Amino acid sequence: MKRIVATLWALIMSFSLFAQNYSELNGLFQNSTVLNKHYVGFSLYDLASKQYVYGQNEDKHFTPASNTKVFTLYTALKLIGDSIPAIAYVERGDSLIFWGTGDPTFLHPKFKDEKVFQFLRDSNKKLYYSSAKSQEPFYRNGWSVEDYEYYYQPEVSVFPMYGNVILFKEKSGKLVLSPKYFDSHISHKDDTTSRFLIHRDYGSNKMDYNSVPLPKEYINEKPFHVSDSLIQALLQDTLHRSVGLVELPLPMDAKVLHSEKTSEVIREMMLPSDNFLAEQLNMVASFVKNRSFQTKSLRQQMQDDFYRFFPDTIELRDGSGLSSYNKFTPRAMVTLLNWIHSDIPDEQTKLHLFPAGGLEGTLKGVYPTPGGKAFVWAKTGTINSVHCQSGYIITKQGRRYAFSFLNNNFMGSAGPIRKEMVKIVTHIYENF
């Protein structure tokens, strides 16, 4: 009898403590002078009990910005396999014909695998690059076309090289371009605006820079405009050998050469929130599943196979979150995070894919790190009037939660909202 009473008392105290924590968390939302000025959605999910613990507008739709990349992470895990398919190729007589797969890592400065480069450079056969049409525009629905010059919006392509950007650096007082192929595409313009500027014409690779002195240690990136002839020229310039250009269907007996580990490309996408890698991972997934580059069809297939089981409908138009047409609910996001949690049994492997709060990527310096350790791992997302975080919390008591914190339609800087989010997530860490 005493044991039963003790058990009941423990349950009552546990429920009472939970109710108190719930009430305090609710108070943080209701009494926030920052959060009450805009549209806020929040969902907290207990990964052990498989229950939604707390929500604010958790069934309402929000623009998620780069939180969309969590869907790309899931797509890559489900479809791509352990390593990225880099090129498809066949050998026919004295010729080696190769096709792009959407692999973003070829000659990308963040990735060091050189298997494809060495394979093509060292082949004793004549090289032919076979164009494969992506069947989609190089920008996704809802992107800002006027941002075509900015580093965060490279063109999506079938055979990316150098991250589809040109690197500009000051070296010994001179402007240096990488790849050097583009040296002949840039010219000086007699213009004395307030600061040093480089401009690229839309739809071409014609560039100019103004007359303002080049700043010391200047560094910048600009996307280049992709075409089959440019890919051919860059390949020849890089490999130092002739590369022919053909347009042939991909044969069923084509072999595939692989490059980087998929998990490392995902991590490089997630930590700095790389839009280019996100879009190209969708291209790779489309190639693997359908041997085509129709990411709209891929998203519909993911909807039919997985996302239809969400508690709420979602709308995805890209893989990076640049599109303002993307819409999902906090509750759908924590459901996805729970699926990822279930698919990756090893906790460190899972958390390695997300920025660690206070320590890495877009969350570096944002959260406190008790004892030098993170307690939150989350993907951020920010575009105009949107600031979001979704990921995982390990509390001081060792409980595991998935959460999604979405903010839309605010005015001004995201800074005050970020601080309020940190305050609430830290409260969960300390009290749940």
By DSSP bridging, strand 95-100 and strand 174-178 are unpaired
Alpha helices in 271-414 (DSSP H): 275-290, 295-305, 330-343, 347-351
Q: What is the CATH number of domain 24-77+272-431?
A: 3.40.710.10
Q: In whole angstroms, what separates CA 194 from the centre of its chain?
A: 34
Between the two ends of the chain, the Cα-to-Cα distance in Å is: 30
| Tens of each residue's pLDDT in the chain, 432 residues | 545 544 444 445 444 445 567 889 999 999 999 999 999 999 999 999 999 999 999 999 999 999 999 999 999 999 999 999 999 999 999 999 999 999 999 999 999 989 999 999 999 999 999 998 777 889 999 999 999 999 999 999 999 999 999 999 999 999 999 999 999 999 998 887 789 999 999 999 999 999 899 999 999 999 999 999 999 999 999 999 999 999 999 999 999 999 999 999 999 999 999 999 999 999 999 999 999 999 999 999 999 999 999 999 999 999 999 999 999 999 999 999 999 999 999 999 999 999 999 999 999 999 999 999 999 999 999 999 999 999 999 999 999 999 999 999 999 999 999 999 999 999 999 999
The structure tokens 């959407």 sit at 102
CATH 3.40.710.10 residue ranges of the chain are: 24-77+272-431
pTM of the model: 0.93
Please answer whether residues 291 and 135 qualify as being in contact, where contact means their C-beta atoms are separated by less than 8 angstroms: no
Relative orientation angle of helices 69-79 and 275-290, to the nearest 10 degrees: 30
